[in-house]
Structure 1
């Protein structure tokens, strides 16, 4: 990183006539998102990318800038990030609305620590939620792990009888693990289909073998072979479905029917084995627990048949929090609840930009340039729509994919 402090001396012009108005006229400076101050739009974008994109702690940033000759106090960086968060708010809200309207979401959550929430003095364990749509990545940091966070993001309203409804209705698909919140929301919201990741179920069988390696060695191997056959059948089904969608015809329909037959065979093999083994009185307790978990989440596995375009696993949602997890290791969390909300907002923007293959530094700089041209305020209307990747022009997307010039 190279820190440069640039001083621009703009030309001044003095009128020779006696007309009414200012005697001295000066050329306007470059439009800055934060107005007067040290931060150009590019340096502010770099600060956000380094702080939240690279997961660096505040002390690390202060020390790193000092090594390059930029001696800045920590409150200066905090204030600049907070002001940038205000400018990013409309962009974040547009991304969240887009995510809320997605027909399919990958969801996951992990712990997050907030040290002085609501002005208090005791660290508390909060939760970082992530939802991935087809073209969005949305983060929320909340103090609870309850279903209210998920229903709020999905735009669901709880009725008097406990059921959940959505304004637009329609079918929604949610890929997740089988944490109780996802299960509960799926049961209470008509039209919400839960898809459980198979890898999470598969891991219970090697764990069961550890309790009795001798007796459960071949039992584990047989189950891993069944899951392997299921993964193979799903890949063939996804390929055949995509081919039937893109190039429809008798040949594609035949291959799709064969792929469905292979999937049904793999599922039937798992279903038959689990039923027979559950009825066996001599099965080890750990193996029975693994089979009980498979039975409890069976509907969320079988439902994958109707959605071959969705992965069997939830790896996308599990990989998405890696950047926040790095920040959690380096900075231990957030100092306040406002700082946590700002982190979630910036991660939402960075994650969505990266999902579209954009260079985050170039993209943020362009957005802050637009804020500067708007007088230090966020762009509105069509000016804001330009920075939504799903509405942006091909020329803008091509420019934002390049490194900053």
Structure 2
């Protein structure tokens, strides 16, 4: 009971990040034979290191600011002779100008000068494209709203307050109504992401809670679930009221063949495709590691035992990293692969030996029993280096959504929840493709505006995996990167 109490306290108050830290070791166990933690280096440039490369801003536009001498100073202070203009001494500063303005559209009218019959007397230039018919806010405004909420994960009210400081007062209802109008524009792109993601050969999955404040028949409360599926070149978020096996089951086609890296949550094991052998589950070593950390913290008398297993898992990661960093035809790959298999075999032998001991304490036995039950899924990476050791990458994908959940609680309507899932998916996929989401979003929404506020007839050019190389370079996150 005391051990479980310590474990629960650590879950509530302990540090959740598994990144090593010399100040906060609450999510780690330190042994006497562990190397001492080095003191953090001092801030600033080190004498023994080369200086940082000066950043290049030549791609930014230039606004000239010519500084002249006052008239009374353009003469010689002794004789009063006029000074002759020469060249300039140039320097640069980086500035950012954030301003709201009214774009006044003047459509030129033309009067007929002939007497031809059945012709309009006045001809007017076509109207400017509008994203939302009769809407007051332009594309640039909607780009800022979408990026701030679904990429920056800030409450929209905070953005509107910032705009009021700039002299622009936009009603929250106007923004909400506009976002609802924009939601259908992203549905075809989202469907393309779903189809592409489900075809991945190796994928990862995870889920986190998401609040949707609507009354749904047959459901108690407002807790929904945001599922993330990380594929080869896409990331898909799915919003569902259920945390059951039906969600991942519905994501992958009935005939799919995929290795799915997951934690040990039972919903994945209950998938129909898993039972039929079409989806192969690979289990996460990071979650196994957390089991041993929990035992070492909850039961101090078993700390040394837990440390021994943490050291074995550390070796597992080290050899796997060496194998991944070496080409398959490199001798270093063969060496790393041999050491990796030796480490796994030793861990299996150690597990069997400890479980055969009738005096093994209950907390330790519970962890090792789980390890043994999931051993096949935990060791699939041995024969397929494409399979990662953990699902940390998919866990990182849900961090932004978790931040948004804390900042603005979730979604107040069904359409809002769908929009969140679609924008989370698009932003993560574009980031994976190293595409600037601001540039891409402006391009896409302007294309919708030119199509009368509707989805373009052909969405293929907007999909990262179908985009031309020229367009990818144009939309690249680093405009100076030509590689």
TM-score normalised by length of structure 2: 0.74
Shift of 1:336: 1.8
Deviations 1:80-124 (A, max 9, x none): 112211111111111111011111211100011111244999841
SS of 2:270's equivalent in the other structure is: helix
RMSD over aligned Cα, in angstroms? 2.1
Q: 1:363 aligns with which of 434, 440, 451?
A: 440
Corresponding residue of 1:12:
109
1 CA distance for matches of 2:333 and 2:318? 14
Correspondence list, 1:4-403, <5 A: 4-19=101-116, 20-118=118-216, 123-156=221-254, 166=255, 169=256, 171-185=257-271, 187-213=274-300, 215-240=301-326, 243-244=327-328, 248=329, 252=330, 254-380=331-457, 383-401=458-476
Q: Is the 8 A contact 2:286 2:392 kept in 1?
A: no
Gaps of 5+ in 1: 157-165
Corresponding residue of 1:3:
100
2 CA distance for matches of 1:191 and 1:121? 31
**Cα distance change on mapping 1:239 and 1:10 into 2, 3 Å:** same
RCO higher in structure (CA 8 A, sep ≥6): 1
Q: Is the 8 A contact 2:210 2:226 kept in 1?
A: yes
Give the helix-richer structure, 1 or 2.
1
Shift of 1:401: 2.1
Deviations 1:366-399 (A, max 9, x none): 011221222221113xx31100101101111112
Shift of 1:44: 1.6
Shift of 1:271: 0.5
Aligned residues, how many?
Answer: 380
Shift of 1:45: 1.8
Gaps of 5+ in 2: 1-97
Q: Is the 8 A contact 1:114 1:123 kept in 2?
A: no
Q: Is the 8 A contact 1:117 1:336 kept in 2?
A: no
From the CA coordinates, give the structure whose radius of gyration is larger: 2
2 CA distance for matches of 1:192 and 1:229? 29
SS of 1:377's equivalent in the other structure is: coil
Shift of 1:235: 1.4
Q: Is the 8 A contact 2:434 2:477 kept in 1?
A: no
Shift of 1:334: 0.8
SS of 2:462's equivalent in the other structure is: coil
1 CA distance for matches of 2:373 and 2:215? 37
2 CA distance for matches of 1:294 and 1:119? 40
1 CA distance for matches of 2:140 and 2:218? 35
